[in-house]
Amino acid sequence: MIFRVSSNLVYIIGTVYLCSKLIAGNNQFSPNIRYHSPHANTSLNYSYINLKHVKGHKLDVTPLATYSVKNRSMCVKECVKTKGECKSINLQQQTNGYGCEILDKDIYITRGKLVNDPSITHSLIANKCMRQKCEKGYMCVPNYLQNTFSCQMGSCKEIKEKIPSSPSGYYNILLAGYTRTVFCDMEEDMGGWMLIANYSIEETNNPPRINYINMKTYFTGAHMNGMVLSTSELVPINEWSSIQEIRFQCYKPSHGRMVHFKNNIENKWGRYLIDYVLKRVGVMNCKPDQNNAACSDIGSSLTPMSGDTSFMSSQSNRFGWGNNAQRLYNHGIYGGPYHYILINGRLDCDDHGGFKGKGSWWRIYLR
C-alpha cells in the first residue's frame, strides 16, 4: 500500500529548555519518543513524541481508549500518558473539536488494517521501519524507545516456507501483534505446525490440572506441561495468521493406541471443522450418529497422519465434534464411541472416559 506521510511534528510535554538541541544532541534518548521520568538534570524532565501523519486513513483496530478533545495536542498528550502502550493515534475532526482514538497497535503489527477514511488522520511514531527494508517474507517491527527494528515472520508455516531446512524447536514470531516464542513442529507433514496445547501425565496416575491460559502467558512457556491455550485466544490468532489446518494427537499406554488426525481442507466438513473451532461459524447442522443426509461425505473430513492406530479411524462415517463453548477441547473430534477430550475431569484418547494413567499425553497444533 502506498500512502502519503506528512512532515513530522515533535510534541513536547513538560518543562523544556532549548528542547530542540537537547533532543537532537542527547544520545541517551530516542529521537522519536521519551516518557517523563525524574532526571538528575532537571532540564531533561520532559516527555516528547515525534509523529508522522497519514491523512485520509485510519488504522481499523479496537482502540485502547477513546476521548473527545479540543485540539490535536490534547490527543497526543493522552498517548504519551500511557508510557508505551500507545503505538499510534486516529484523529477525526468534529464540530467542537476532535475524536481521539489511542491505539495499542501500529501499521507494522497489523495486516491490512490501514484503510481509507477521508475524515481521519492516522498518526504513527516515527521509527526505523520507515526507511529500513526487511527481506521479502519478513515484517519490520520497530522498537520505538530504542530507535531500532527487527525483521520477523508471522507463523511457523512462514518460517518453514522461507527456510525449508528449519528444524523443530522454538522460534520468535510476530503473532496477533506481539512477538511470541512458540514451538514449531517442522517435520510432520512438511512442517510449519504451531503447538497450542501440550498436556501429559508424567509422574503419577493422578492427572495434573489443565491450565487454560491467555496468549501472553502461553507463549512464554509453550513447552511446559499443562499449558493449554484458551479458546478465546484463537480468534485473534486466526485474524493474524489465516489458519487453515488443525492437528490432533494423543496416546494412552493403557490401551496402546495413538490418535493422529488433521482436518482435510479439500473436504467441506474438514474446512468446516477449522472454521467451527476458530468460531468463524456456528453450530454444525450435521449429526453423523443419526445418519443425516447432510453428512454424506463427512468420512473424508479428517485425514489419518503418521502413527495413527486409533479405533476412531474405523468410524469415519460417524466423525463429529463437540457443540459447546469449549469446542476445541471438549469432544474436539470423535468417531462414534471413541473420543478426543482434553478438559479437567475428562481425558479421553480414542476411548470413552477410559483410564487416565502415567505416560498419557495430548497435543494440538495449528497451521
Q: Specify the DSSP class assigned to residue 290.
A: G
- For the segment 226-241, the average pLDDT, to the nearest whole number, is 76
Q: Is the pLDDT of residue 20 over 50?
A: no
- For the segment 217-231, the average pLDDT, to the nearest whole number, is 67
116 burial via Cβ count (<10 Å: 0-12, 13-18, 19+): exposed
In terms of pTM, does the model score above 0.95? no
* Top-confidence residue, 225 or 151: 151
Q: Is the pLDDT of residue 153 over 80?
A: yes
Q: Is the pLDDT of residue 17 over 50?
A: no
Residue 286 pLDDT grade (very low, low, confident, very high; cuts 50, 70, 90): low
Q: What are the tens digits of pLDDT across the range 65-74?
A: 999 999 988 9
Q: What is the pLDDT of residue 289?
A: 52
Q: Is the pLDDT of residue 186 over 70?
A: yes
Cell digits of residue 354: 477410559
- For the segment 167-195, the average pLDDT, to the nearest whole number, is 89
Residue-by-residue DSSP string for 205-257: SSPPPPEEE-HHHHTTSTTSTTEEE-GGGHHHHHHHH----EEEEEEETTTTE
Q: What are the tens digits of pLDDT across the range 245-280?
A: 999 999 999 999 999 999 999 988 888 888 887 777
Q: What are the tens digits of pLDDT across the range 301-318?
A: 889 999 999 998 888 777
Q: Give the domains, in start order, of the chain with CATH numbers.
A: 51-130 (3.50.4.10), 156-366 (no CATH)
Q: Is the pLDDT of residue 88 over 90?
A: yes
Q: Which of 225-229, 291-295, 298-302 has the lowest mean pLDDT?
A: 291-295
- For the segment 187-203, the average pLDDT, to the nearest whole number, is 92
Contacting residues for 269 by C-beta, under 8 A, at least 6 apart: 286, 295, 297, 298, 300, 301, 319
Q: What are the tens digits of pLDDT across the range 138-152?
A: 888 898 888 899 888
- Return the closest-CA partner of residue 31 out of 122, 134, 125, 141: 125
Q: What are the tens digits of pLDDT across the range 329-364?
A: 888 888 888 999 998 888 999 998 877 788 999 999
Q: Are residues 214 and 230 in contact, defined by beta-carbon separation less than 8 angstroms?
A: yes
